[in-house]
Amino acid sequence: MARTLDEYLQRSKRANSKEVLAARAVFDQAYGIACQVTELREKQNLTQVELAEKTGVPQAQISRIERGVVSPTSATLAKIAEALGADLRLVERSQPSARRRAAS
């Protein structure tokens, strides 16, 4: 029996199924965006309400983005990036994505 989450994830067939790996990849991407938005907003001492006013994106949507509950559209991300003085970039992954691993 696994004693830690890491041990469970390494041993579990279900946790390593194609479906779960794909879902985990989506979550990881949304969580990464959430952390970046929150960090940049806080760095500029902006509240969610202030960011909403600068972007025209509802505060509730910004909250959902920062919690990783939704994956924002590219248009929404562009508005947020502009308001925070940030760039949107595609960065090469150091490891293959779960989607590509599942397909192989």
Region of 68 please: left (phi>0), alpha (psi -120 to 50) or beta: left
Q: Is 65 exposed, middle or buried (0-12, 13-18, 19+ CB in 10 A)?
A: buried
> Where exactly are the structural domains of the chain?
17-86
Q: Select the more confidently predicted residue: 95 or 23.
A: 23
For 38-90, the pLDDT digits (tens) are 999 999 999 999 999 999 999 999 999 999 888 899 999 999 999 999 998 87
Asked whether the predicted pLDDT for residue 97 surpasses 70, the reply is: no
Question: In the prediction, which pLDDT does 22 show?
Answer: 84
Q: For the structural domain made of 17-86, what CATH number should be given?
A: 1.10.260.40
